[in-house]
C-alpha cells in the first residue's frame, strides 16, 4: 500500500500533514501552485515558516522561516481556533464535494469574525466555502471564483 500511495498526488490534507511533521505548529494556509503545495505554518516556537510540499513525493522543503512576530494578534487567534485547517478542509468538502485547492485563515477586521476560506474545485469550477473557526459550520459562498476567464 505504501508504494501505491507514493504514486498518487498528495492532496491538500496530505500536504498539511507533511508540513506539520517537519515543522510542528498550526497551519495558516495551504495553496497549490503547479507541482507543489505552499504551506504556511506558525510554529510552536512562534516563528512563521513557508514550506513547499512536492505533490508527487510529499517531500517537504523549507522556503523561509522567520520570527515574524505576531502580526496584530492574528497568530494567537489562529492558535486559539477550535477548528484547524485540516478540519476546515473536511468540513468544506462535506458541504461542497470536490478537491481542496487552497485553504486560508481569515481574521476579518471588519466584524471580528474568524473563519477559514477554503477553495474547492469540482470539474472546472472553483467554489469558496467559509468554515467558521469556532463552530466548524461550512457555508458555501455566493461569490464563486470561476477560472474560466472566457465570457
Q: Are 47 and 36 in contact (CB under 8 A)?
A: no
Residue with more model confidence, 71 or 136: 136
**Spatial separation of the C-alpha atoms in residues 132 and 95, rounded to whole Å:** 13
Q: Which of 64, 48, 55, 74 is nearest to 13 (CA)?
A: 55
**Spatial separation of the C-alpha atoms in residues 125 and 60, rounded to whole Å:** 29
pLDDT over 90 at 52, yes or no: yes
pLDDT tens, residue by residue, 16-39? 999 999 999 999 999 999 999 999
pLDDT over 70 at 150, yes or no: no
Q: pLDDT tier at 111 (50, 70, 90 boundaries)?
A: low
pLDDT tens, residue by residue, 120-131? 999 999 999 999
Q: Is CATH 3.10.450.40 the classification given to domain 2-140? A: yes
Supply the mean pLDDT for the chain: 84
The pLDDT of residue 8: 59
Amino acid at each position: 500500500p505504501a508504494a501505491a500511495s507514493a504514486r498518487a498526488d498528495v492532496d491538500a490534507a496530505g500536504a498539511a500533514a507533511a508540513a506539520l511533521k517537519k515543522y510542528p505548529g498550526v497551519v495558516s494556509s495551504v495553496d497549490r501552485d503547479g507541482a507543489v503545495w505552499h504551506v504556511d505554518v506558525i510554529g510552536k516556537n512562534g516563528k512563521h515558516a513557508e514550506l513547499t510540499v512536492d505533490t508527487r513525493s510529499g517531500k517537504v522543503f523549507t522556503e523561509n522561516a522567520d520570527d515574524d512576530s505576531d502580526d496584530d494578534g492574528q497568530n494567537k487567534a489562529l492558535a486559539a481556533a477550535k477548528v484547524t485547517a485540516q478540519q476546515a478542509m473536511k468540513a468544506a468538502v462535506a458541504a461542497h464535494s470536490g478537491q481542496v485547492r487552497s485553504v486560508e485563515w481569515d481574521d476579518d477586521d471588519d466584524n471580528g469574525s474568524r473563519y477559514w476560506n477554503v477553495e474547492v474545485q469540482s470539474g472546472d469550477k472553483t467554489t469558496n466555502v467559509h468554515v467558521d473557526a469556532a463552530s466548524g459550520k461550512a457555508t458555501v459562498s455566493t461569490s464563486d471564483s470561476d477560472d474560466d476567464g472566457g465570457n
